[in-house]
A and B are shown apart, each in its own frame.
Chain A
Amino acid sequence: GQQLNQSPQSMFIQEGEDVSMNCTSSSIFNTWLWYKQDPGEGPVLLIALYKAGELTSNGRLTAQFGITRKDSFLNISASIPSDVGIYFCAGQLGSGYALNFGKGTSLLVTP
């Protein structure tokens, strides 16, 4: 599968700060997805993006599908302690296809 470059690898921030992470690929994807994994759990879908240029929000989370279809970013505003976890980006060529994941961004939020 294609390799996705996700950055940063980890972030250590204070409660209330905004967070930004991104993902780039050498290949085009038709769908970009962002997942969060809590300890001992499987990845949970946060946001799915289906069109180049699309900007989608889910509460304090905002994600964008890059115009080139080779990148995406995720922003978290006003972070809270329960935002702690590992965030993964994933690219998908189409419905039913395998997901290509980034290596994850580990987020730590201090009160």
Chain B
Amino acid sequence: EAGVTQFPSHSVIEKGQTVTLRCDPISGHDNLYWYRRVMGKEIKFLLHFVKESKQDESGMPNNRFLAERTGGTYSTLKVQPAELEDSGVYFCASSPTQGGYGYTFGSGTRLTVV
């Protein structure tokens, strides 16, 4: 079974530009999560999809961040316009409908805003 796939693995953009991160969850997993780790800090929750619906988006920092999961398969996280403090590693994770403990994480996208 393929794991959680994230693209790109690295992205360096200038402040003010737009970046879109993509996550392909494990096939059949209804739950999809986005997390972010800023250097030296804890991994923080951003939001949770159940299929195509946003179950919990309480962790989204501000309205410059937009997450979508059309069709309930892959998800995108767009940052527009990017700011310096958006730099960090963005992780996606997925879990099946039942038993959502300790879900599977992707390798992350390292975003650097300069």
Binding site for B on A (CB under 8 A): 1, 3-4, 6, 31, 33, 35, 40-45, 48, 50, 88, 90, 92, 95-104
Please, how many residues of chain B have a CB less than 8 angstroms from a CB on the other chain?
29
From known contacts A1-B45, A98-B56, A104-B42, infer whether A43 and B31 are also in contact, taking CB-CB under 8 Å: no
CB distance from B70 to the nearest CB of A (A): 21
- Chain B residues lying within 8 Å of A35, measured Cβ to Cβ, are 105
Check if A42 sits within 8 Å of B107, measured CB to CB. Answer: yes
Distance of A24 Cα from B4 Cα, bound (Å): 29
- Chain B residues lying within 8 Å of A31, measured Cβ to Cβ, are 101-102
Check if B56 sits within 8 Å of A41, measured CB to CB. Answer: no
A31, A42, A92, A97 interface centre (most CB from chain B within 10 Å): A42
Considering only CB atoms, which chain B residue lies closest to A97 in the complex?
Answer: B100
Distance of A42 Cα from B42 Cα, bound (Å): 13
From known contacts A98-B45, A101-B42, infer whether A33 and B101 are also in contact, taking CB-CB under 8 Å: yes
Check if B43 sits within 8 Å of A101, measured CB to CB. Answer: yes
Q: List 15 A-B contacts (CB under 8 A).
A: A33-B102, A42-B4, A42-B91, A42-B93, A44-B105, A45-B102, A48-B102, A50-B101, A92-B102, A95-B100, A96-B55, A98-B56, A101-B35, A103-B40, A103-B42
